[in-house]
Structure 1
């Protein structure tokens, strides 16, 4: 398999993939010939996506639990082999009420996305670095560039998530440089104002990450603002 094959034959994990965006991405990946593993916490929603998108595998896991993610990695490795791509879709919105409305409970809820990202990207790091076309991507927000008082918690967590992904990108580049070879893994940030109506655009953009070499994508921020 070479990068000329695009995403065909690649093993791709959708973290928090039972949302509308996750189902759309799963369908696009399967249509492109990828082998897809959808991870979520709700058994009913996992069953629904397996029925809706034939060919996907599903795994139930709390991605905020480090031990559970380690166990997930073992199951995925045994059943499917090393993964070539991860799209992080764990998220959610809580906000409003200005700074006074930025409560600790809401912040803790939003922070789960960053915690899950840290666990998944660290646990599957060796897989993505070993792949000849490893890809990690997250969905962030335009709020990072223009944070509002009523969304301060949300923007702060998204900014931290982007910083984490940029650090992952540097790690991919350093690993390749230390090995004396060209990079094969890339970490990417997708930014949207809202995913509503842009699910297909996200799916198309994610699938396209396998259409070029890693150096074209690593440590990039890609805005998605038009439906396809």
Structure 2
């Protein structure tokens, strides 16, 4: 499993749950020092800025040279900026938030072939309940999350089409997790991600799951 941008509390929680379940986890981050706690959990750290397309391509090449193929990809680049009503939705804040969508685009494209070739390929993202009910003070945030959801649903359609064209059962699935505030749901997210691989891809693909 690739955890992209994994140095947050959520990244550590998910890594711990996956490693406890016996998974091999590669964790990326821009700062080697911040990856050390993940290495202590048993993850394989890789310094990579996943908002940089070339760095992601280089990462994919390095891992393939080592014989590593992924069954799962979870981008965790995120953060919150908002407030001030619609007038407070600055371009600076939007560009900072947009990094999460950029990271998703890069890693999903770079490792798409891995997920399609897997017997249980999984792409998952963490979105927000604000997509369903956006507020003026969080318009930038909700817009970026809505874009990420649209991208993930497009990945899901690609998985389904590839399986249909090949005449094979659907084995890969793209899933959206929505939360109210990720800081309150790290354990729930970790459990949900670890459980993705035991579920049927056809039932899971292109679904939105709201975490309690």
Same fold (TM over 0.5): yes
Deviation at 1:197, TM superposition (A): 2.5
Deviation at 1:206, TM superposition (A): 0.6
Structure 1 unaligned segments of length 5 or more: list them: 1-11
1:77-135 Cα distance to aligned partner (Å, 9 max, x none):
22252111011111110000001110000000000110110010011000000001000
Q: Comparing both structures, which one devotes a greater share of its residues to helix?
A: 2
1:111 aligns with 2:98: yes
SS of the equivalent of 1:133 reads coil
Aligned ranges for residues 1-228 of structure 1 at < 5 Å?
A: 12-51=1-40, 53=41, 55-225=42-212
The RMSD of aligned alpha carbons is: 0.8
Partner Cα distance (2:38, 2:154) in 1: 32
Structure 2 unaligned segments of length 5 or more: list them: none
Q: How many corresponding residue pairs? A: 212
Partner Cα distance (2:199, 2:82) in 1: 37
Partner Cα distance (1:20, 1:119) in 2: 22
Deviation at 1:50, TM superposition (A): 1.1
Task: State TM-score, norm by structure 2.
Answer: 0.98
Partner Cα distance (2:131, 2:177) in 1: 12
Partner Cα distance (2:133, 2:149) in 1: 14
1:161-189 Cα distance to aligned partner (Å, 9 max, x none):
00000000000000000000111100000
Deviation at 1:196, TM superposition (A): 1.7
Partner Cα distance (2:153, 2:187) in 1: 25
Partner Cα distance (1:153, 1:197) in 2: 22
Moved over 3 A (4+): none
Task: State TM-score, norm by structure 1.
Answer: 0.91
1:25-58 Cα distance to aligned partner (Å, 9 max, x none):
000000000000001111111123212x1x2101
